Amino acid sequence: MLTSKFLCPTTIHFGSGVIQQLPALLSTLGTKTLFLVVDSALLSTPFYQSVKTILDNSLTNTVLFSEIEPDPSSSTVQNAFEQAQQHQADSVLTIGGGSAIDVAKAVAILMVHGGKIHDYEGSETFDQPGLPLIAIPTTAGTGSEVSGSCVITDTDTNRKMSIRHAQLNPARFALLDPDALVTLPATVAAHAGLDAFVHALESFTSLKATPITDALNLKAIALISHDLRAFVKDRSNQRAALNMLLGSAMAGMSFGQTGLGNVHCMARFVGAKYHVSHGLSNALCLIAVADFNRVAEPTKYAQIAQAMGVLSQQDDEQTMAQRAVQAIAALCRDVGIPSGLRHVGAKPQDIEAMAADCVKANYTQWNPRPTDHAAFVALFEAAY
Where do contacts with Fe ion occur on this chain (CB under 5 A)?
A: 195
Q: How far is CA 264 from CA 44, 147, 270, 306, 315, in A?
A: 33, 16, 10, 24, 30
**Cβ nearer to Fe ion, comparing 130 with 271:** 271
Q: How far is the CB of 108 from Fe ion (least distance, A)?
A: 21
Q: What is the closest distance, in whole angstroms, from the C-beta atom of residue 240 to Fe ion in the complex?
A: 20
Closer CB to Fe ion, 195 or 227, in the complex: 195
CA–CA gap between residue 359 and residue 346 (Å, rounded) = 19
CB of 103 to Fe ion, least distance (A): 17
CA distances from 87 to 48, 111, 167, 244 (A): 22, 11, 27, 36
Ordered DSSP codes for 96-152:
ESHHHHHHHHHHHHHHHH-S-GGGG-EES--SS--S-EEEEESSSS--TTTSSEEEE
**Residue 272, number of CB atoms within 10 A of its CB:** 15
Q: How far is the CB of 51 from Fe ion (least distance, A)?
A: 26
Closer to Fe ion by Cβ: residue 249 or 302: 249
How is residue 180 annotated by DSSP? G
* Phi, psi of 323, deg, nearest 5: -60, -35
Phi, psi of 370 (to 5 degrees): -55, 140
Which residue is nearest to Fe ion, using beta carbons? Answer: 195
**Nearer Cβ to Fe ion (179/195):** 195
Nearer to Fe ion, 145 or 195 (CB): 195
Q: Percent helix, strand, coil in the chain (nearest 5)? A: 55, 10, 35
CB of 144 to Fe ion, least distance (A): 10
Between CA 207 and CA 201 the distance in angstroms is 12
90 or 195, CB closer to Fe ion? Answer: 195
At its nearest, how many Å lie between Fe ion and the CB of residue 52? 30
In the bound state with Fe ion, the residue whose beta carbon lies nearer, of 34 and 194, is 194
> Which of 136, 142, 207, 209 is CA-nearest to residue 173?
136
Our CB check for Fe ion shows the closer of 195 and 291 to be 195
Q: How far is CA 83 from CA 2, 73, 79, 98, 209, in A?
A: 46, 16, 6, 21, 41
Give least dist CB 139 to Fe ion, A: 11
Strands 61-65 and 33-38: parallel
Give least dist CB 1 to Fe ion, A.
32
